[in-house]
Amino acid sequence: MAFLLRRLCFYLAAFVAAATINFFLPRLMPGDPVQIMFSSAGAELPPESLQALKLTFGFVDGPLWQQYLTYLGSIFSGDLGRSIKYFPLPVTTVLGNALIWTVGLMGTATIVSFALGTFLGILAAWRRGSLFDVIVSVGAIFATSVPAVVTSLIVVFTFGFTLGWFPTGYSADPALDPAFTFEYLGSVLYHGILPMLTLCAVLTGGFAVTMRNNMINLLGEDYIVMARAKGLSDSRVMLWYAARNALLPTVSSLAIAIGTVLGGSLVTEVVFNYPGLGNILYQAILARDYPVIQGQLLIMTATMLIANFVVDVSYVLLDPRLKRA
């Protein structure tokens, strides 16, 4: 419990750090930052948005520390200000609608690639040095060294534009109304499958290599030799003795990989024109919609911290030593 509490405090500190960067960046701009942001976003804005923008960045009357506290206060009460591009919509509404799609895409891709990568890693380690191992290892090198944006573009070109098997944009057929019908859900699946597979292609290699190496380090342990000496079947030794223990460090690598998933999904969404956070962010960058750009950092940080915390909890459940500590 103490372990989880300590992690929780650390995550809170990390979140405040991200908010602090957000607070100071506009203040480091030369001149009047609000005016600059206002003018760089285009001239057709209503004048009341200027006031909203000032509030978003905590430009209230008073000394700096007071502005800072006001800013932190509004962040923690869930107020990220108002978007410039979609004025007067609040940033939380703009990002919240998109977050569902990103989390859905990201979650599925992480689960699929973690399961697949772990499985490939177990088999590769078990048959170390075989052709299968070489294929998995070399494939992992290629998959991890090609940028997500390149993978996405090549996939969308091949399967979307050239072969025409899958749609090249949107999360569902725009002609359908969102509802819990088979038609709509089928359309969501059909539109989501290509970006999901792209993310899996980016992620699986890393998981496979981590699992493979953990397994190889464990295969020399005495209890593996013991299990074999007892005459247990190969699959039982591989899965119940080696893989179970090798999984533990892999889970902690999952926490780090969440950053990859987040970044990868940003780029993949832009390429596939998928209405998640990445696409909203891309539109916001093009329109220089600063409140939205800053809001996504906070939301992404929060997502990453929550995911890390979930990994911490599962770590405690998997590793009995931590429960006692």
Partner 1 sequence: MKTSSFPLIHNRKAMVGALIVAFILAVAIAAPLLTSYDPGARVGRPHQSPSLEHWLGTTRIGQDVFARLIYGARTSLAVGFGAGLLITIVGTALGIIAGYRGGKIDEVISFFTNMVLVVPNLPLLLVLAAFIGQASPWVIALILGCTSWAWGARVTRAETLSVKQKDYVKSAEMMGEPRWRIMTFEIFPNLISIVGINFIGSVIFAIITQATLEFLGLGDPKVVSWGTMLYAAQKASALSVGAWWDILTPCFALAFLGIGLSLLNFAVDEIANPRLRTGNRLGRWSALIRSGEGRL
Site residues for partner 1, 264-303, by CB under 8 A, read 264, 266-267, 270-271, 281-282, 285-286, 288, 290, 293-294, 296-297, 300-301
Nearer to partner 1 (CB atom), residue 47 or residue 129:
129
Residue 224 and residue 239 in contact, taking contact as beta carbons nearer than 8 Å = no
Task: Report how far residue 160's alpha carbon sits from residue 268's, in angstroms, rounded to the nearest whole number.
Answer: 13
Q: Is residue 137 close enough to count as binding partner 1 by CB under 8 A?
A: yes
Nearer to partner 1 (CB atom), residue 135 or residue 189:
135
| Residue bearing tokens 């419990």 | 1
Give how many residues touch partner 1 by CB under 8 A.
Answer: 71
Q: Is residue 97 close enough to count as binding partner 1 by CB under 8 A?
A: no
Q: Is residue 135 close enough to count as binding partner 1 by CB under 8 A?
A: no
Q: Is residue 174 close enough to count as binding partner 1 by CB under 8 A?
A: no
Q: Applying CB under 8 A, which of residues 67, 74, 108, 168 lies at the interface with partner 1?
A: 168
DSSP string, 189-218: HHHHHHHHHHHHHHHHHHHHHHHHHHHHHH
Nearer to partner 1 (CB atom), residue 9 or residue 189:
9
Q: Applying CB under 8 A, which of residues 96, 104, 139, 263 lies at the interface with partner 1?
A: 263
Q: Applying CB under 8 A, which of residues 60, 150, 225, 313 lies at the interface with partner 1?
A: 150
Q: Is residue 26 close enough to count as binding partner 1 by CB under 8 A?
A: yes
Task: Report how far residue 155's alpha carbon sits from residue 60's, in angstroms, rounded to the nearest whole number.
Answer: 48
Residue 197 and residue 128 in contact, taking contact as beta carbons nearer than 8 Å = no
Which letter does DSSP use for residue 222 in this model?
H
CA distances from 128 to 101, 123, 134, 239 (A): 39, 8, 8, 16
Nearer to partner 1 (CB atom), residue 74 or residue 168:
168
Q: Applying CB under 8 A, which of residues 176, 193, 216, 322 lies at the interface with partner 1?
A: 216
| Residue bearing tokens 């590793």 | 319
Provide the minimum distance between the beta carbon of 123 and partner 1 in the complex, in angstroms, as a whole number. Answer: 15
Q: Is residue 38 close enough to count as binding partner 1 by CB under 8 A?
A: no
- Contact string 3-22 vs partner 1 (x = CB under 8 A): -------xx-xx--xx--xx
Q: Which long-range contacts does 130-139 make (Cβ < 8 Å, 24+ apart)?
A: 133/212, 136/208, 136/212, 137/209, 137/212, 139/205
Provide the minimum distance between the beta carbon of 183 and partner 1 in the complex, in angstroms, as a whole number. Answer: 26
Provide the minimum distance between the beta carbon of 225 and partner 1 in the complex, in angstroms, as a whole number. Answer: 14
Which letter does DSSP use for residue 294 in this model?
H
Residue 298: how many CB atoms within 10 A of its CB?
Answer: 19
Closest to 282 (Cα-Cα) out of 50, 147, 98: 98
Nearer to partner 1 (CB atom), residue 142 or residue 182:
142
Nearer to partner 1 (CB atom), residue 154 or residue 176:
154
